[in-house]
Structure formats: structure tokens, C-alpha cells
Structure 1
Amino acid sequence: MYRWVVVFLLLMLVGLQYRLWFGEANLREILALKEAISEQQQANEKLLERNRQLEAEVQDLKQGLAALEERARSEMGMIREDETFIQLIEPRQ
């Protein structure tokens, strides 16, 4: 009788170990999902920061002409009539 109980318990242990390592939602899959979640959270943080910067830029553009003028000068190379435009290019390394 004792032998059958031990055999039954060993079979249960093997069955549970099989499910843990090779079954549905096994340890490897869970670890891979945790890593994917971590990577996605990092990507989300970067995007949230980008959104904050864009929102601040939109507010600046709505509130005053100084930000609009700065953007026109830096991105479009616009200059006033009495100014001289000088562009400095850093050498490639």
C-alpha cells in the first residue's frame, strides 16, 4: 500500500513538473512575457516624454510669437531683412 502511494505521488510530481516546464504558460513563456512588458513600458515612457514635449511646444506656439519666430529661424532658416545668416556645420568624425 505504501509503495502505491509513493508511486502515485511521484507521478503527480512528474506531471506537475511537466506542466511547469513544457505545458501551457510555462516558465520560459512567462519570463519572455515579463521581458516584453518591461520593454513596452520603457517605450511607453519615451513616448510619454515626447508627447509632453510636443504639448509644451504647442502651448508655446499658441501663446506667443517668440516661439514661432524661433522655430521659423531654426527649421526654415528664415532671417530678418537687416540680418546676415551664418550657418555653422560641425565636421563629421
Structure 2
Amino acid sequence: MAVVWDASLDSARAAVSRIGGLSRVDWLLLAVLLGLQYFLWFGAGSWWSVAQLHAQVEQRQSDAQRLEKRNDKLAAEVLSLQNDSGAVAGLARRNLGLVGKNEVFVWVIPAKAN
């Protein structure tokens, strides 16, 4: 077991001596690499901000689909109101409480739920 420890200690010393033996050009290239990595991970076009933008796009697309369905429903209602006179009466009955001639208004009050 002591042999394994000595071997790992020697390899650690060798790694430290290799790091200390880097030239100025190597240190400069390492600094440039780390600087580029910073912008990749934390900058304006980083992975995190791109993921957030994709989530926003998906949310906006789902909102747009919901609004398109609503617009289609409203367009169909407008078309129905333009072409069918009975639709106007039905809308007036639902929203304004219209009661026609020879009709009786009946209001049903639901029983209390126990």
C-alpha cells in the first residue's frame, strides 16, 4: 500500500512540475481559452440564455395558438351574426335576457346544496 501512495505522490509532483514548466505562450493560450469559455457559459449568448429564449419562444407559441383558436371562434360568431337573423335573437336572449312575443319567462332557482 505504501508503494501505491508513493507512486501517486510522485505523479502529483510530476504534474505540478509540468504546470510550473509552462511557457508564457502556453499561459496566454490558456487564458484566452478560459476567456472564451466564460462567454460560452456566462455571456450574452451563453447556453443558459439560449435555453431561456427557447422556453420563451415555446410559451409565446402556445399563447399564439390559444389566441388563434379564440379569434377563429369569434370570426365564426361574427359570420353567424351577419348571415343568420336567429343568431342575433339567440345572442340577445343569452346576454340581454330578451323575451319575445307570446313567450313566458321562467326563472329556475336551484335548490341549496346540502
Q: Under a length normalisation based on structure 2, what TM-score does the superposition of the two structures give?
A: 0.66
- Provide the alpha-carbon RMSD of the alignment: 2.4
Residue 81 of structure 2 aligns with which residue?
61
Unaligned runs of 5+ in 2: 1-21
**How far is 1:16 from its partner?**
2.0
Q: After TM superposition, where is structure 1 displaced by more than 6 Å over at least 4 residues in a row?
A: none
Partner of 1:14: 34
Identical residues among aligned pairs (%): 32
**Residue 93 (structure 2) aligned to one of 53, 73, 77:** 73
The separation in 2 between residues aligned to 1:89 and 1:39, in whole angstroms, is 42
**Greater length-normalized contact order (CA 8 Å, ≥ 6 residues apart):** 1
Question: Gapped runs of 5+ residues in structure 1?
Answer: none
**Partner of 1:52 in structure 2?**
72
Which of these two proteins has the greater Rg computed from alpha carbons? 2
> Take 2:71 and 2:92, find their aligned partners in 1: how far apart are those partners?
21
Q: Which residue of 2 aligns with 1:35?
A: 55
Q: How many residues align?
A: 91
Deviates more, 1:42-51 or 1:10-19: 10-19
